[in-house]
Amino acid sequence: MAQMEITTLIFAHVKWFAPFDVNAMPKPIGEVLNGQFVKFFLGSVVAVSAFFWADRTAYRRGLLRALDARLKRLDDLSVLILRLSVAIFLISLWVWYQATGTAFYITPELKTHSAYVPWLQLALGFCALFRRSLPAVGLGIFALFGLAVRDYGLFHLLDYMIFVGLGYFFTVATVKRGKWRQSGFVVLFSATGITLLWAAMEKFAYPEWSYAMLRSHPDMLMGLQPETFMVLAGFVEFGVAFILLGAVSIAGRVVAMVFQAIFLLAIFEFGLLDAIGHLMIIAILFVLFMRGPTSAREILVLREKSVAMEMYFMMGLYFLAFVMIFIGYYGLHSVLHRA
């Protein structure tokens, strides 16, 4: 039970349930990069290395390759799942407004007093029920994202690049010529991974936002100090997100399924608001589990090299991704929220 609860808190979105201030200065880098941080980072390197050794070995041995190939042809079913999910999501936002009087753009903390927004969401929800009107849904999601950027700033909305991916996906979903629909899946999965990688940085930069939740759920700590817990949570989320972006074998589907289950478990802990807020990421993870990654993922496969060399290559990308996103998080906050 304790392990289930720790994972639900790791992936619960703290901004929906606790006070926060994006304008506040993040935790100083010198305080973040301490001995404990380095130990957890090295532990994540070992864990991610082990996964990619197993992933590339399974890929080269063709483990369940025929099944994997058949599932990759489920594009039409994937589009159906995603458009029904976004229809439920958008209509739920309208229902939430009718029930509570509170409207928000795309996630619960992005509140708005504009009365037309819930009605726009209702209209887009109905458009999602019809395949021909999917481009309108995509453009509508772009519009909602843009309105949220106007009201809350670019840095805050970098938490939700997943909606940029969804906007692009639905805009091109009905295009039959060329590889437009395939590009929709590439952008969608990439935006989802980037969203999770970026969210992991928040746990290093603003751990204090989660302390109130930890005080109200002390059993989730499993004997750890809150500061230690948040560092662990950040590395778990970053590592899993990177694995989802880089896996090429059937193992990636297993990780997506486990990840989706964790988000579902969080709903039992945090309720209906969490269910609405995480509905689309749950749907995307299900599609990633069912359909698998796109063929674009093949650029990460070094066919002429050994499994060990492929593992080293992916770990190089892991180091690069971590450093670049860490610097990007602190750098953009400094630029966009300078005193």
Token pair 């999501």 in the structure block, residue: 89
What gap in Å lies between CA 248 and CA 214, rounded to an integer?
36
Which tens digit of pLDDT belongs to each residue from 42-92? 999 999 999 999 999 998 887 777 777 676 677 788 899 999 999 999 999
Cα–Cα distances in angstroms (integers) from residue 164 to residues 141, 237, 276, in the given order: 8, 21, 18
Write out the two tokens for 265: 């478990």
Cα–Cα distances in angstroms (integers) from residue 106 to residues 118, 147, 164, in the given order: 10, 10, 11
Mean pLDDT estimate for the chain: 88
Cα–Cα distances in angstroms (integers) from residue 70 to residues 48, 65, 145, 179, in the given order: 28, 9, 35, 19
Length of the chain: 339
Residue type, 240: V
Which tens digit of pLDDT belongs to each residue from 299-336? 888 888 899 999 999 999 999 999 999 999 999 999 98
Ramachandran category for residue 81: left, alpha or beta (phi over 0 → left; psi -120 to 50 → alpha): alpha
What gap in Å lies between CA 312 and CA 30, rounded to an integer?
28
Judged against a pLDDT cut of 60, whether residue 8 lies above it is answered with no
Burial of 298 (0-12, 13-18, 19+ CB in 10 A): exposed
Judged against a pLDDT cut of 70, whether residue 3 lies above it is answered with no
Q: Which residue spans within 6-150 are E strands per DSSP? A: 103-104, 111-112
Count of beta carbons in the 10 Å neighbourhood of residue 217: 15
What gap in Å lies between CA 22 and CA 138, rounded to an integer?
27
Which tens digit of pLDDT belongs to each residue from 95-147? 999 999 999 999 989 999 999 999 999 999 999 999 999 999 999 999 999 99
- The residue ranking higher by pLDDT, 16 or 283, is 283
Write out the two tokens for 125: 């929800």
List residues bridging with 241 in a β-sheet. Answer: none
What gap in Å lies between CA 49 and CA 339, rounded to an integer?
41
Residue 153 has what pLDDT? 93
Structural domain spans, the chain: 2-18+73-336
In angstroms, how far is the first alpha carbon of the chain from the final one? 44
Which tens digit of pLDDT belongs to each residue from 160-200? 999 999 999 999 998 877 688 888 999 999 999 999 999 99
Write out the two tokens for 279: 């509905």
